[in-house]
Structure 1
C-alpha cells in the first residue's frame, strides 16, 4: 500500500473537507451532429456522422461523399482539430479491432480507432507493453499518431519512433501502406498531420517488455531541476517514466517523479488501472485546488506529500493506463480546464522559464500545474515539434468560457508562443488555435512542404478541420 494507516486517516480528513465544497457532476449530453471536444469550448455543426467498423466503409465514404470530410477519435484535441462545419465526420471509435500480433517479434497491428487501454489490456497477458504513448490511455491510436504524441518515457521522443508502418486511405479512395521504406513522404507527413493527408486505418507498432517499476520522487528548488535531470535522469535506461511538476502559485518548487525498473516485490497487485473508477474525490480536489491560493497550498503541502508517502512498486502497464476522467471537473458550463504545451531546446531552459512564469503571473492565469517532460529529437516528420532535443512545459489551467475570457486567453497565449519562438522552440498544435499565421509558420518551418503534400494527395481539399481552416490555403 502507498499510505500508512495514519496517512490514510489524514488524507481522508482532507478529502472529506473537499467533499463539503464539491458539487455533483454536471455532464453535457451529446447533441446530434454537434462535434465538441473535452473542453466544451468548440461545438461544431457537421452534416452527419459515420461510425465505421471496416475499412470498406471508410473507403466508400471517402470515394462517394460529395463534400468535405473530418476525422475524429477520442476528441481530446482542444481547438477543433477533429472537425469543421458542414463536413461528414468519420468517428473512428468503433473501428477498434486487433488485427495481428506477434509476441516473438514484439509487434501488434490494430485498427486506428482502438484506445490504448484496450490495446494494453490485450498485450499485458503476454508481458508486453507499449514503447511510447501519452500519459492517459483513453486516446485512440490513430489520434495519437495524428498529433505525434509523446509521454513521460525517458530516452524517447515522439510516438513516430515506435511506429513500424500504417495503412492510410487517401482522398481518391486508394489505400496505401506507409513506412520508412515505402511511401516515405506519406509516413512522415501523416504522422503529426492532423488528418490532413488521409484516414489512418491500420497501425503496426513496436512493443517492449512489461516490467516492475518503483516510484521515486524528490522535491527541490525549480532552479536546481535542469542539472538534476541532466545528471540523474537523462540517458538512464533503468528509468522508464519521468516528469516534474512545478507548484503554483509561487512556482519556486518542483516535484520530480520517476518510475525506475526494479525486481522488488509488488506493492500494487493490479496489473492495470481500472477504467470504470468513480472519480468523485478527484473532482472535489480539482474544485478546491482551482478555487483559491489556499487550495493550491493544500495540494502542495498536504495532498501531494501524503500521496507520495510510502514505497510503491507496480507494473509498467499499470502506470500506462491512467484514465482521463480523473481530470474531469464537476461542470464546464461557466469555466473549463485546458492544456497548453511548449517545446524548448534544452539549452533554452533557463532563458524560457522566467519568461513563461512572468507571463502567467502578469496575466493572473489560474494555473493548476506545470509539468516538465523531456523529448528526444523528432526523426523527420514534416510538422515536427521537437526539431532538437527539448524540454516540454505542459500548462494545465482553468479559464472562463465567455467571449471576454477567450480573448484574454488568446492574448497571453500569443505572448507564450513568442517566448518559445525566441528560444527556437515551438508550441503544440492539438490545443486551442490561438497562434497567428506568422507564429505558426515560424514554429513549423516545414509547413509549406507539408501543405504541398496535402495538395498532392488531397487536391480537392476533402480532409478538413479547424487547424487547416486557420492556416492552410488550398
Structure 2
C-alpha cells in the first residue's frame, strides 16, 4: 500500500513539475513575443499573434488593430524569409487555421478554398475527382494565401505563374470592407494583391482553376550546362507531351556548375493504368535527404557524394509512372533545418532562356572566387507573365533556385550578402530578375532595376491603404 502511494506521489510530482515548466515556458514566450520565419535571421518583437479561425474573428482582429492603431502583418507557414510576415510591435494575423476547402466543381474544374488551406489540403480534396492543381510550388506544405502573395510558380511548363490560374478572390481591405476581386470586378486590385506580399489586405478565400490529373512518365537525361539551353528548346518546350520539367545543376566541387541532369514528365501512353497509381503518396527518403544535406553543409566530399547519389536515383527512376498530383508532392521535411549557429536560406534568380549558357559561365567564374556554402541549384521554367505588377517573368525565363547555408552572426550575414549582391548584379546584367520572398540582401537600386514598376506598386499601396495598416519588414526596407 505504501509502495503504491509512493508511486502516485512520484507521478503527481512529475505531472506538477511538467505543468510548472510548461507554464513558465509559455509565460516567457508570451512575454517576449519574439517571432521569426523559417530562416531565423530576423527575430522581431511583436505585440501579439492572432489566430484567424473564421471570417468574423479575422474581421474583429483587424477592427481591434485599427482601434489600437497597431500595424498588421499576415502569416501562413512563414517560409518567406525577409520579414514579409511580421513587423515590430505589430499584430501578426496567423491564417493557418482558416483552412477549409469550401467546394470542388468537377464540371468547371475549379476549387473554392480558404486562404489558410495548404496545397496538400487541396490535393486531398480534388484527387478523388481525377483533378489536379495547375500551378503551385514544388512542395505542398505552403498555404494558398501565402502562395498567392508571392505569386508562386512550379514545375508545370504549360502553366506559368499562379496568378494565371486565379478566377477570383475575396479581400478584407484595411478599412474593414470585404470585396470580391477578379479580372472584371474590382480589377485594379487583381495585379496588386497577387504578388503583393500582404500589403493590400487579407485574402479570405479564392477560386482556382484546376486541370485533369493524368499519368506521367519520368524521363531523365544527363548533360553539361552548355547543352541545356538548346536541349530545352528542341526537346522540352517544343514537345507537347512534356507537361512538367525540372533540372538540377551540380554544386559539387568536382563538377561545379558544369554537370546537369534534367527530368521531364511526359504524358504516358498508358493512361488506362491511371487508377493503379492515383493514391496520393507520402514522403519517402526524407531521412536520407536530410542526412546527405547535412554532409553537404560541412564537407566538399559530401556535396560530391550527394550529387552522385542524386544522379543515380534519377537514372534508376527513368520510365517510372506517376500521376501529376504525385509529381507535385515533393519532399518537404528536408527544408526544416534548425542548426544552432547556422541556417539554410533560399535565393531565386530568373534569367532569359537565351542567356542561360553565358549566365552560368559568368556565375561559375564569380562563385569560384567566393566563399559561399552553396548546396543545391534547381532549374525550372516559367513563361512570360506580366499580369502581376511586381512580375518576375518579364519574358520566358529559367528560374534558378539556390539553397545556401550560412552563419547567423553579423559577419556571416555580411559575407553572404556581399556574395548575393554580386550574383544579383550578374543576373541583372543578363536581363534577369530575382525573387522577392527572401532575405533583404539586395540593395534598393537592385530592387528597382529588377522591378521597374516597384515605385508604381508602392504608390498604389499608399493610395489603397493610406494609413499603412498592413505593413511588414519587406515594405519597411524597400517601400518606404
- Relative to the length of structure 1, the TM-score reads 0.90
Q: 2:113 aligns with which of 79, 100, 110?
A: 110
8 A Cα contact 2:261 2:311, kept in partner:
no
Residue equivalent to 2:13: none
| Corresponding residue SS for 1:82 | coil
1:38-53 maps to which residues of 2 (within 5 A)?
A: 38-53=38-53
Q: 1:255 aligns with which of 239, 253, 261?
A: 261
Q: How many positions carry a matched residue from both structures?
A: 444
Alignment deviations for residues 118-150 of structure 1 (CA, whole Å, 9 cap, x no partner):
111110010100000010000000000000010
Residue equivalent to 1:446: 453
Alignment deviations for residues 245-287 of structure 1 (CA, whole Å, 9 cap, x no partner):
0112322110001111114347984622326x68332221111
Residue equivalent to 1:54: 54
Residue equivalent to 1:345: 352
1:230-245 maps to which residues of 2 (within 5 A)?
A: 230-245=233-248
| Corresponding residue SS for 1:134 | coil
1:349-368 maps to which residues of 2 (within 5 A)?
A: 349-368=356-375
* Cα shift at 1:155: 2.3
8 A Cα contact 1:335 1:401, kept in partner:
yes
* The 10-residue stretch of structure 1 (251-260 or 138-147) with the greater mean CA deviation from structure 2: 251-260
Tell me which of the two structures has the higher relative contact order, counting C-alpha pairs closer than 8 angstroms and 6 or more residues apart: 1
Q: 2:300 aligns with which of 290, 293, 301?
A: 293
| Corresponding residue SS for 2:414 | helix
- Relative to the length of structure 2, the TM-score reads 0.89
Whole-angstrom distance in 2 between the partners of 1:143 and 1:184: 20
Q: 1:315 aligns with which of 317, 323, 326?
A: 323
Residue equivalent to 1:371: 378
Residue equivalent to 2:400: 393
Whole-angstrom distance in 2 between the partners of 1:56 and 1:169: 11
Question: Does structure 1 residue 137 correspond to structure 2 residue 140?
Answer: yes
Residue equivalent to 1:380: 387
1:57-456 maps to which residues of 2 (within 5 A)?
A: 57-65=57-65, 66=68, 67-248=70-251, 249=253, 250-264=256-270, 265=273, 269=277, 271-274=279-282, 279-310=286-317, 311-329=319-337, 331-456=338-463
* Cα shift at 1:307: 4.6
* Cα shift at 1:235: 4.0
| Corresponding residue SS for 2:316 | coil
* The 10-residue stretch of structure 1 (222-231 or 99-108) with the greater mean CA deviation from structure 2: 99-108
8 A Cα contact 2:246 2:378, kept in partner:
yes
8 A Cα contact 1:338 1:396, kept in partner:
yes
Whole-angstrom distance in 2 between the partners of 1:228 and 1:307: 18
8 A Cα contact 2:163 2:387, kept in partner:
no
Whole-angstrom distance in 2 between the partners of 1:380 and 1:466: 25
Whole-angstrom distance in 1 between the partners of 2:357 and 2:280: 38
Whole-angstrom distance in 1 between the partners of 2:124 and 2:269: 22
Alignment deviations for residues 325-356 of structure 1 (CA, whole Å, 9 cap, x no partner):
13334x42122111101111223223322222
Q: Please give the root-mean-square deviation of Cα atoms over the aligned residues, in Å.
A: 2.0
Whole-angstrom distance in 1 between the partners of 2:277 and 2:310: 23
Alignment deviations for residues 428-463 of structure 1 (CA, whole Å, 9 cap, x no partner):
000111111111111111112111211111100111
Whole-angstrom distance in 2 between the partners of 1:350 and 1:309: 28
Uncovered stretches (5+) of structure 2, i.e. residues with no partner:
1-24
Alpha carbons of structure 1 residues 90 and 408: separation in structure 2 relative to 1, 3 Å:
same
Whole-angstrom distance in 2 between the partners of 1:388 and 1:430: 20
Alpha carbons of structure 1 residues 224 and 286: separation in structure 2 relative to 1, 3 Å:
same
8 A Cα contact 2:220 2:314, kept in partner:
no
Whole-angstrom distance in 2 between the partners of 1:126 and 1:340: 36
8 A Cα contact 2:169 2:203, kept in partner:
yes
* Cα shift at 1:293: 1.8
Alpha carbons of structure 1 residues 235 and 87: separation in structure 2 relative to 1, 3 Å:
farther
8 A Cα contact 1:335 1:400, kept in partner:
yes
Whole-angstrom distance in 2 between the partners of 1:153 and 1:61: 37
Residue equivalent to 1:16: none
Whole-angstrom distance in 2 between the partners of 1:180 and 1:423: 33
Residue equivalent to 2:35: 35
| Corresponding residue SS for 2:60 | helix
Alpha carbons of structure 1 residues 355 and 114: separation in structure 2 relative to 1, 3 Å:
same
Uncovered stretches (5+) of structure 1, i.e. residues with no partner:
1-27
